[in-house]
């Protein structure tokens, strides 16, 4: 990384001076600028991914491929459940007389 910065004539001292000037000029706005820069990078990556997807779909569309075997749909299944049967019906319940 240092060699690429030196190619532009930026020494470590120059970089520190530029960073200090940036903090002095944009001090309170730096978090906002960082967020905007981050969102820009994310959008750029999404755009590149979209381009890659279009190139991938055009190359796969050019090649003939056999269709994937689809599983046959199964008919709906019925679940047989039985309700519990109570032997005592409300008419057969005997109550004890209250005293």
Question: For residue range 79-94, what is the model confidence (pLDDT) as tens digits?
Answer: 777 776 666 656 656 6
Q: Report pLDDT digits (tens) over 19-59.
A: 899 888 888 888 888 899 999 999 999 988 888 777 776 65
Instruction: Give me the torsion for CA of 56, 61, 62, 68, rounded to 10°.
Output: 120
d(CA 53, CA 49): 6
Report in angstroms the alpha-carbon separations of 68 from 22, 34, 59, 61. Answer: 58, 47, 18, 15
d(CA 22, CA 30): 9
**pLDDT at residue 9, as a whole number:** 84
């Amino acid at each position: 990384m240092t060699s690429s910065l030196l190619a532009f004539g930026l020494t470590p001292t120059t970089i520190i001076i530029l960073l200090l000037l940036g903090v002095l000029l944009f001090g309170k706005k730096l978090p906002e600028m960082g967020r905007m820069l981050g969102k820009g990078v994310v959008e750029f990556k999404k755009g590149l991914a979209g381009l890659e997807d279009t190139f991938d779909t055009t190359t796969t569309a050019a090649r003939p491929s056999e269709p994937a075997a689809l599983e046959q749909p199964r008919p709906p299944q019925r679940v047989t459940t039985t309700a519990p049967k109570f032997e005592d019906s409300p008419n057969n319940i005997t109550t004890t007389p209250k005293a």
